Amino acid sequence: MFIVNYQIPKRVKEVIKDIDVNTFDLQYHEIHGPIELHFNSKQYGILVDFSFDLPMADELLFCWFELLNGTVVKVLGSEKYVALKLPEIPYSWFEFINQGQSLLVRQVEDTVFVRIPDLIITQPISEFYSKWVKYEAINKQQFVEEVLIKTCGFLEEVFNINPKLLESQFIKHLLDIHKKAFRLAKSRGWAQQIVK
């Protein structure tokens, strides 16, 4: 099982609701809010009731959705191994190993603090050590569809807050990655319930 929960806090909505695209791109270029990821029994992120507005949660939501969609693109491509760098923790990653209809996932850390500029890599790093005792096996199709559905929800919410922001270069970049992930999923007959 894989689940993504996120929230755009009220304070952030107030800031971006009337902002113009140029100001957003120059001064903000990100929407902050809490995000949590569930890999079966393993969880990452703020574990809260998302019905409350959280003043202290400052995850990088654009970045997270870009990375998750980028991982979908790699997983649905020919990559057997994909690692996604956690945006807020420079030496922490999620490893995904492609195994048929499943993905094996674990959180790892770089033990020697190698500077890896990429946020998604496709070659294992020998200096990684696991923070989890074992890999979590999740269904690949369910992972892909959850990422696509939650990204659509996020983009729709941004549009409802301020439609002008869809012209932002940062949102356009996320949209490009999301469209590529969606096309790859559709080519497998997945994501049929997502209306584009």
Q: Return the closest-CA partner of residue 108 out of 126, 72, 171, 100.
A: 126
pLDDT of the residue at 134: 87
Residue 122: per-residue pLDDT: 95
Predicted local distance difference test score (pLDDT) of residue 191: 80
Specify whether the CB–CB gap between 166 and 20 falls below 8 A. Answer: no
Give pLDDT, residue 196. 55
The pLDDT value recorded for residue 124 is: 87
Q: In the chain, which stretches have pLDDT less than 50?
A: none
